[in-house]
C-alpha cells in the first residue's frame, strides 16, 4: 500500500543558524532576537519586550569586563554576566518580569 513504511524524502531542508546580535550594555537593552552577546559593563535594568522574541532570551558576555543586571525595572533577580557563560532569561507577562536561570 502506498503511504506506509519508509518513504524517500526528496524535499530540500534548510537549517538556519541564528545570528548572535551584539548589544552594548546599557540601562535599557532592546534585543531583536533570542540570541544576544553583551559587551561592556553598564548595569542592565530593563530588557524591552519585543514581538520578535519568541521563547527564552539567551545572553552571553564575551567582553573582558563583567556585566550585571539590576532589579529596579523588569528583571526579577540580579545576575553577574560573567565572561563566556550562557544565561537564559524567561519572560512572565503576568508579572511583567524577566527571570534568569542563574544568579550570582
Tens digits of per-residue pLDDT, 5-44?
555 555 554 456 668 999 999 999 999 989 999 999 999 9
Q: How far apart are CA 52 and CA 36, in angstroms?
A: 13
What the block records as the C-alpha cell of 35 is 540570541
Rounded CA-CA distance 22/8 in Å is 41
The pLDDT of residue 5:
53
Asked if residues 59 and 80 have their Cβ atoms less than 8 Å apart, the reply is no
> For residues 55 and 67, is the Cβ–Cβ distance under 8 A?
no
Residue 18: predicted pLDDT: 65
Task: Say how far apart CA 50 and CA 47 lie, in whole Å.
Answer: 9
Give the model confidence (pLDDT) of 35-68 as tens digits.
999 999 999 999 999 887 778 999 999 888 888 9
Report the run of H or E that residue 36 belongs to, with start and end.
strand 35-39
Amino acid at each position: 500500500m502506498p503511504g506506509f513504511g519508509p518513504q524517500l524524502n526528496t524535499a530540500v531542508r534548510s537549517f538556519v543558524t541564528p545570528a548572535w546580535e551584539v548589544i552594548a550594555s546599557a540601562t535599557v537593552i532592546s534585543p531583536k532576537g533570542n540570541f544576544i552577546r553583551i559587551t561592556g559593563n553598564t548595569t542592565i535594568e530593563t530588557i524591552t519586550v519585543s514581538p520578535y522574541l519568541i521563547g527564552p532570551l539567551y545572553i552571553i558576555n564575551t567582553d573582558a569586563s563583567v556585566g550585571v543586571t539590576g532589579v529596579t525595572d523588569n528583571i526579577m533577580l540580579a545576575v553577574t554576566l560573567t565572561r563566556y557563560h550562557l544565561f537564559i532569561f524567561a519572560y512572565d507577562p503576568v508579572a511583567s518580569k524577566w527571570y534568569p536561570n542563574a544568579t550570582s
